[in-house]
Amino acid sequence: MSQVRRLDCAAVADLAPLFVLGALPDDEAAAVRDHLATCPEAHAEVQELGGVAAYLAELPEPVEPSADLKGRLMTAVEADLAQRRLTASAPMPAPTPISLAAERERRRPIVTWRSALQAAAVLLIGVLAGWNLLLLGQASSAEQRAALLRQAVAVAGQPGAQVAGISGTDVQPAARGFVVLSPGGGTGYLVVDGLAAAPTGKVYQAWYVADDVARSAGLVTTADGLGILPLSTDQPVQVVALTVEPAGGSEQPTSPIVALGRVGG
């Protein structure tokens, strides 16, 4: 499969009818494509037969897809856009801050399952100790979570509050939720339900995205797929996004966005 057969012009002309209909095995189709991409000849037979084949696409009687397909598509497009902008604006191999998490990964010797667990536990303790404020957001008891949800709903109910839906991307299509920001902006809540349990050694991290720059909004712990995070920011926010990051979180997103919501222009 590594060595692609090279074709001459006559062979391409011979395969053209099958090629334009998509009836060649993948490797042969790739060989034809390679030839066409580099051949100085016009290969009119491929052009013409390709034109005939194009009419076949018009044959099936049009049928409406289900209404929610558009929402799924546009969520995927928005996520791709956010992702591309972040990657484009992420500091290239800059001399400045490398991801703390990546650095930890790099320094960690060969990891056994047990040592990974221990490391994760140590990290978790460190995180918990350092993020007193976040303790609120990582409320474990049902009562605490209910209290946070009530506060989120209370903020959402204020006149002038910003409320935006959160949808899962292809990575986690089941994720759903909302972001609320207080009328003056600044504080609010991120509520996401339907999240898969984070893989061992990983956490969910939320991001404020504005002008193609991501800032951490904090780590989100989940229970039964539900994650709630108090938000606090003094800068404008356009998008709130969620990614899976190594335990302890990252400086910048390092994995595909699993859910996002557009808060403002």
Partner 1 sequence: MNRAVDPPPTVGVRVPTDEQLIERAAALDPTAIDQLYERYKSMAYALAARITGDAGLAEDVVQDAFLGVWRNASRYMAARASARTWLLSIVHHRAIDAVRRRRPTSELPEADAPPPGALVVSDAWMEVAGRLDREAIVAALASLPDVQREAIELAYFGGLTQQEMAARTGAPLGTVKSRVRLGLLGLREALERAGAAGRGGGT
Site string for partner 1, 134-173 (x = CB under 8 A): ----------------------------------------
Position among 65, 93, 95, 184 found at the interface with partner 1 (CB under 8 A): 65
Q: How far apart are CA 253 and CA 21, in angstroms?
A: 42
Q: Is 23 in the site for partner 1 (CB under 8 A)?
A: yes
* Minimum CB distance to partner 1 smaller for 26 or for 234: 26
Q: Which is nearer to partner 1, 13 or 161 (CB)?
A: 13
Q: Which residue has the tokens 């991307």?
A: 169
Among candidates 234, 237, 229, which has minimal Cα distance to 263? 237
**For residue 175, how many other CB atoms are within 10 A of its CB?**
22
Q: Is 48 in the site for partner 1 (CB under 8 A)?
A: yes
The DSSP string of 139-201 is --SHHHHHHHHHHHHHHHHSTT-EEEEEEE-TTSTT-EEEEEE-TTSSEEEEEEESPPPPPTT
d(CA 144, CA 201): 25
Task: Verify binding: residue 211, partner 1, rule CB under 8 A.
Answer: no
What stretch of H or E contains 241?
A: strand 239-246
Q: Is 105 in the site for partner 1 (CB under 8 A)?
A: no
Task: List the one residue out of 242, 171, 244 whose CA is nearest residue 202.
Answer: 244
Residue 73 or 117 having the CB closest to partner 1: 73
Residue 86 or 156 with smaller CB distance to partner 1: 86
Which of 17, 201, 225, 256 contacts partner 1 by CB under 8 A?
A: 17
Binding of residue 78 to partner 1 (CB under 8 A): yes
Relative to beta strand 226-232, strand 187-193 is: antiparallel
CB of 207 to partner 1, least distance (A): 19
For residues 15 and 3, what is the distance between their CA atoms, to the nearest angstrom? 19
Single residue of 4, 77, 146, 174 touching partner 1 by CB under 8 A:
77
Q: Site for partner 1 (CB under 8 A): which residue of 3, 58, 129, 143? A: 58
Q: Which helix (H) or strand (E) holds 223?
A: strand 222-223
The distance from CA 94 to its chain's CA centroid, rounded to whole angstroms, is 23
> Minimum distance from CB of 39 to partner 1 (Å)?
11
**Should residue 52 be labelled a site residue for partner 1 when binding is judged by CB under 8 A?**
yes
Per CB under 8 A, 61 contacts partner 1? yes
Decide: is 93 part of the binding site for partner 1 (CB under 8 A): no
Binding positions for partner 1, rule: CB under 8 A: 1, 14, 17-27, 29-30, 33, 36-37, 46-66, 69-70, 72-74, 76-78, 80-81, 84-85
